[in-house]
Copies of this chain bind each other. A is one copy, B any other.
Amino acid sequence: MTKTLQVFKSRGLYKNLICNGRSHHFRVSELFQPLSVIPRNAKLKNLEDTSLSQKLLVNCGIINSRSNGMFALLPLGQRVIDKLTAIIDEEMRHIGAQKLLLPLLTSGHLWKKTGRWESTGEELMTTSDRHKNEHVLSPTHEEAITSLMSDIYPLSYRQLPLHLYQITSKFRDESRPRFGLLRCKEFLMKDLYTFDCSEAAASVTYNKIGSAYDRIFQRIGIPYLKVAGDSGNIGGSLSHEYHYQAAIGEDTLLLCNGCDFSTNATLVSSSDDAFCTRCGGQLNKTLAIEVGHTFLLGTKYSAPLKACYQNDKGKPELLHMGCYGLGVSRIMAAAVEVLSQGKCIRWPWILAPFKICIITPKKGSKEAGALSWVDHLAHVVNSIPGFQNDVIIDDRDSFTIGQRVMEAKKTGYPLVIVVGKGACASIPLFELIDTENGDSQMLSQTLLVNFLKQKLLEFKFNV
C-alpha cells in the first residue's frame, strides 16, 4: 500500500496546475479545424448529391466524411452538438424526463417478436456474436426499452407517467446516403419513450412532450413547421412531424392558407392535395427537412413484448406508450442548410460553436503593439454571463486581419472583434463586426461590453 500513498503525494502540484489552468482561452492556432482545400484541377463529380450544408460543414472543418454516409464530428461540430444537447437536457429535466443509456445493440429476437426484423427491410443493420446470437444495430429503441419495462415488472401505476430518453448514435443502412448529415448511415438521435396507464393519460403525455419539443425548437430559433405525420414503420395512432422548410428537403408538406390544417403530403391522396378538406382553403405545397417526429404508439410494442404495469388492484395491465425522436445531428445540418447563403455558414445564435472571435493584430504591423489588449478583452468578454467559454482568439498573426475576418465569417461566428489600429489610439477603440448583417462599428471597451450585454438581452427577449 506504500505505492498508492506515493501517488497521492503529488496533490499539491495538482492544485497549482488546476488553478493556473482556468484562465486558458481557446485559440484558432490550436484548433483542429482542417479546412478542405479543393485542388485547382480537381474534377468534381457533378452527379453527387451534396447539399449546401454538407459543402459548408466539410469545407470549414466542422465535420469530415469518413466513408460513404458516415461522418466524424470535428471539435467545432462537437461543440454545436454539446450546446444542442444542453438545451434538450434542460427542457427534458423541466418536464421531469429522465436520461438513461440503452445498449446500441438490441437482441434480434425482440425485433422478431414485434415483426420489425422483417418489416424494416434492408435499412436494418445487424450483426451476430461468436455464439451466433443476432443483434440489431439499433435505428431506434422501442423494442429495447419496452423489453426493459417488461423485465422490471411490477412497476406500480403510482410511478406513471414515466418519460425516459437518451441521446446516442443510431444506424440506418441507406441505399443511397446523401446531403451529408441529412441522410447518412450513422447519426445522433435523441429518443424519448413515455409510459402511461391508459390511452387518455398517454394522450395528455403526448401533448406535454409536444410542448417541450416546441420549446426546444423555439430556443433554436429557426421557424419550423409542425404537421400531421406519417407513422410509417414505427406505427401508432397519432403522429406529428417537425420540419424546417428547405428546397433540398425530401418531404412535401401541405399547408392550408385558410385554417391551421397542415400535413405531410403522404397522408393525403393526390386528388385531395389542392384544397383543404376541413375549410376548403387552398393547400400550399412546400419542401421540408424532417427534424423531429412524435408518435402515440398505444400498445403496439407493449402487447407483443408483454410490458405491463400493476394497477390499483394489483393486476397487470398493458402500458400505453409514446415515442419521440429528435434528429440531433440532422438539426445541426438542417440549421446550416436553412440559414446559410453562399460560402458563409450561419448558425442559430444559441448553437454557434463560439459566439465571439477576437482577431489579434498582424505580426510586424504598426498596430502590433495593441496585442496586449487581446487577452484582456477575451477575459472581459468571457466574464459576461452568456459568453462564458464562448470566446475564441484568432491568434494566427501571420495572416492579415482581412483574411481572418473572412474565415471567421465562413465559420459562422456571429460576432467578430478586431484588435487593430484603433486599439493604439489614446482612447482605444475596437472594431465589432456583426457577421449576420455585416454591420461594423468602432467601440470603446465600455461601449463594447454594453453592446454585448444588450445583444444578450435582445436574444432573451426574442426567444
Contact = CB atoms under 8 A, between A and B. Distances in A.
Interface of A: 1-8, 10-11, 14, 17-18, 21, 24, 29-32, 34, 64, 66-68, 70-75, 77-78, 81-82, 93-94, 96, 98-107, 122, 125-127, 129-130, 133, 137, 144, 147-148, 151-152, 155, 158-159, 162, 164, 168-169, 171, 173, 175, 185-186, 188, 211, 214-215, 217-218, 223-226, 245, 255, 257, 260, 262, 463
A215 B16 CA distance: 12
A129 B225 CA distance: 34
Contacts of A162: 32
Contact of A186 (B18, B78, B104): B104
Contacts of A186: 103-105
Given A72-B102, A152-B64, A218-B8, A94 B21 contact: yes
- Say how many copies of this protein the assembly contains: 2
20 contacts: A3-B255, A3-B260, A4-B223, A4-B245, A5-B223, A7-B224, A10-B214, A10-B218, A18-B215, A32-B159, A32-B164, A64-B148, A64-B151, A73-B101, A75-B100, A75-B164, A78-B100, A104-B186, A105-B185, A122-B130
A165 to B, nearest CB: 10
A100 B151 CA distance: 35
A79 to B, nearest CB: 8
A367 B37 CA distance: 72
Given A93-B24, A168-B169, A66 B102 contact: yes
A192 to B, nearest CB: 13
A249 to B, nearest CB: 14
A75 B98 contact: yes
Given A148-B72, A155-B34, A18 B94 contact: yes
B98 A32 contact: yes
A11 B81 contact: no
